[in-house]
Structure 1
């Protein structure tokens, strides 16, 4: 008996030296300490687990030997929901809202509602922590939803990704010299709040007047070079946009320019037509599918700007906003490669645009 125990300790030593899994190392360590005569309480203190867990490891070892400690031989209690029940539960959470399965006027899943659903459907009762454990095992997580524009036409978006954009990349063969994305954005004095580091249990306080002052920006992003052309204006009008297009021509004095942009009213104004006709050999506008901001690379520029100098900041004057916007633009334009890597990701497959943003 003594020899068997010594042999088991020796084998545990070898396994612990080679083991890369923290959980398996913990199980081997438990039995190693157990065979050395330590009590359950002592072992629990060393591995930072409760005595129930230690007893489960020891029981698994006593019944199945060292192989009983393997992950596929869990010492814990068997699952209380069958595989079929787990799959039904998961599909319900992913595909249905609570009110669609009998919870009147409930539109968001909570642990409490999930527990009620399990009890009602399968006659199994879990604590809230138990429901959370089941959810995590099924790869469910407590996350914030995101918006998508209901009016967006997925067919047209797909056509842009697979057909229009690859055609626009003719700049690689010299048919197009400059491929630009264009957009506008209003940068306000108190744009939004975002997560930041601060004292535990406290919140950083951001002042605000409750007013909505800001600056209006227009910008183009050169897909190939990462060059950014931008200007601030007091308003968004056809005249403003026309003046900006003239600035684009001035910035690119030679070569064919294609500008990809959204369907804002000012982009379709009749006022633009004489200018576009006059410069049709040099300048062409390509419109994105309606309600498709995710396809415009300049959206990533606005997000970057707001995250760096607008969110979590209160500006007392519009002049302060202008100053920091200018500093931001000047800073990022010093490193074109960073702009390309962050906003103009070159694609292995011309038919895919989804990874741009």
Structure 2
């Protein structure tokens, strides 16, 4: 009876976990209480046995509270809690001209420091105000576009209800939770800032033609495993890719989260999906919601690592570099999880 109560407490903690790493720790304890061998838990979590052992030892000595991640509070700030909240809201959700900085539409450290001094009389150096921004959870990042046709309410429902429910079903009703997407990798993708000689500009040669390779890939939310292939983006090739995914996961039920591309809804797929009912399920994202698909992060990672600021003279060379990139990152699945999966 006591073990049943423990299991229920751990299960409740798993449901409430907002961080991927905390969910993993609770999952390890849940499996341990269910009698799963430590080596099997390590395989399921894709962690080493020593890590799983430390989770269990910590739990046995201090309970669920001892498993909490420890975050450093950092150095104290001169701003009150209310002032910090106002500063965070202002920088995150207003542009400078809306709070009195005429013709200024982008926040810089200098502008933020000026705003703080104007509002509360505290002077900060640029380094000091940078540290304040870090403590408030703000970072200097490039904005991104969002699709105007997207439905924020459907996106919220997916992020707060649908996806958490899918995570809860892992190890219960669903054995594998994957995300899928397609992309086109061109011979020269984009020009981005890079280091070069002062006063000079790096020159990237190009033929002016647009050659490239088309890719399909899944990312395993729990293990970081990537299954991919180069192929055209058609219903036929998508069907072939689904068969490849099934071969890569010979046992257990699979849920694939993906967008609403036409090839994903093709009539050609229906007999196959009906045949695989109970083994394979497709869950569709809200329309126009690429930010909810973790494979989008894989494409950005790939492009920034091997495509941006580089020209490839042949498609064969692109294929080679793409393959090398994926082979290399798959040697470190935890890096894939930390970079792509923890944001959902």
Residues 337/275 of structure 1: CA separation in 2 closer, same or farther (3 Å cut): same
- Determine the structure 1 residue equivalent to 2:174: 176
TM-score between both structures, scaled by the size of structure 1: 0.59
Does 1:321 find its partner at 2:321? no
- Determine the structure 1 residue equivalent to 2:202: 204
Please tell me whether the aligned partners of residues 171 and 179 of structure 1 are also in contact (alpha carbons under 8 angstroms): no
Instruction: Using the TM superposition, give the Cα deviation of residue 204 of structure 1 relative to its aligned residue in structure 2, in angstroms.
Output: 0.9
CA distance in 1, matches of 2:140, 2:164: 38
Does 1:273 find its partner at 2:286? no
- Determine the structure 2 residue equivalent to 1:221: 219
Instruction: Using the TM superposition, give the Cα deviation of residue 203 of structure 1 relative to its aligned residue in structure 2, in angstroms.
Output: 1.3
CA distance in 1, matches of 2:169, 2:229: 25
Picking from 301, 304, 307, the partner of 1:307 is: 304
Q: How many residues in Structure 1 have an aligned counterpart in Structure 2?
A: 242
CA distance in 1, matches of 2:210, 2:255: 34
- Determine the structure 2 residue equivalent to 1:237: 234
- Determine the structure 1 residue equivalent to 2:163: 165
Structure 2 residues without counterparts, runs of 5 or longer:
1-77, 79-85, 112-125, 134-138
Where does 1:70-89 land on structure 2 (aligned, <5 Å)? none
Residues 143/336 of structure 1: CA separation in 2 closer, same or farther (3 Å cut): closer
CA distance in 2, matches of 1:283, 1:312: 39
SS in 2 for 1:254: coil
Residues 217/142 of structure 1: CA separation in 2 closer, same or farther (3 Å cut): closer
CA distance in 2, matches of 1:201, 1:323: 33
SS in 2 for 1:334: coil
- Determine the structure 2 residue equivalent to 1:188: 186
Instruction: Using the TM superposition, give the Cα deviation of residue 194 of structure 1 relative to its aligned residue in structure 2, in angstroms.
Output: 1.6
Does 1:290 find its partner at 2:287? yes
Picking from 320, 332, 336, the partner of 1:335 is: 332
Please tell me whether the aligned partners of residues 312 and 318 of structure 2 are also in contact (alpha carbons under 8 angstroms): yes
Picking from 136, 145, 148, the partner of 1:147 is: 145
**Coordinate RMSD, CA, aligned:** 3.7
TM-score between both structures, scaled by the size of structure 2: 0.61
- Determine the structure 2 residue equivalent to 1:247: 244
Where does 1:117-136 land on structure 2 (aligned, <5 Å)? none
CA distance in 2, matches of 1:217, 1:155: 30
Structure 1 residues without counterparts, runs of 5 or longer:
1-71, 73-86, 115-132, 346-354
Over residues 36-69 of structure 1, what are the superposed CA-to-partner deviations in whole Å (9 max), with x where a residue is unaligned? xxxxxxxxxxxxxxxxxxxxxxxxxxxxxxxxxx
Instruction: Using the TM superposition, give the Cα deviation of residue 173 of structure 1 relative to its aligned residue in structure 2, in angstroms.
Output: 4.0
Instruction: Using the TM superposition, give the Cα deviation of residue 175 of structure 1 relative to its aligned residue in structure 2, in angstroms.
Output: 0.8
Larger radius of gyration: 1
Please tell me whether the aligned partners of residues 171 and 178 of structure 1 are also in contact (alpha carbons under 8 angstroms): no
Instruction: Using the TM superposition, give the Cα deviation of residue 151 of structure 1 relative to its aligned residue in structure 2, in angstroms.
Output: 1.1
Please tell me whether the aligned partners of residues 95 and 105 of structure 2 are also in contact (alpha carbons under 8 angstroms): no
Please tell me whether the aligned partners of residues 186 and 214 of structure 1 are also in contact (alpha carbons under 8 angstroms): yes
